[in-house]
Amino acid sequence: MLSVQAVVTENISDFPARILAPLNLEARTADEFIADTIALDEGKAVAAIRTLRVRLKRPEVSAEDCLRSLEAHGLFVTASILSGHADSI
């Protein structure tokens, strides 16, 4: 059986903790969720992100452009974490 622990949304205010807590759920932004996922196994996450980035061919995307794109989409924490691995992504 699959168990859900979080609602991933940018509309955090639409999911108050007082409603979610009794359901053992929490609301997380995409940035928080991705950053937490990376933290589970940073090496595997960086490798996966590199695989995704190098598959982009039209146009090709540099690691620096990838980080800028994350920031442009509001994923500031994720970009910050990954910036320490720029040579690997």
Residue 47: its H or E element: helix 42-55
Instruction: For the chain, give percent helix, strand, coil, nearest 5.
Output: 60, 10, 30
What was the pLDDT predicted at 85? 96
Asked if pLDDT for residue 81 goes beyond 90, the answer is yes
What distance in Å separates the CA atoms of residue 56 and residue 71, rounded to the nearest whole number? 18
What distance in Å separates the CA atoms of residue 84 and residue 36, rounded to the nearest whole number? 16
- At 26 the three-state DSSP class reads strand
Confidence at 1, pLDDT banded by 50, 70, 90: confident
pTM, full prediction: 0.85
Residue-wise pLDDT tens digits, 15-71 = 999 999 999 999 999 999 999 999 999 999 999 999 999 999 999 999 999 999 999
Domain boundaries in the chain?
6-83
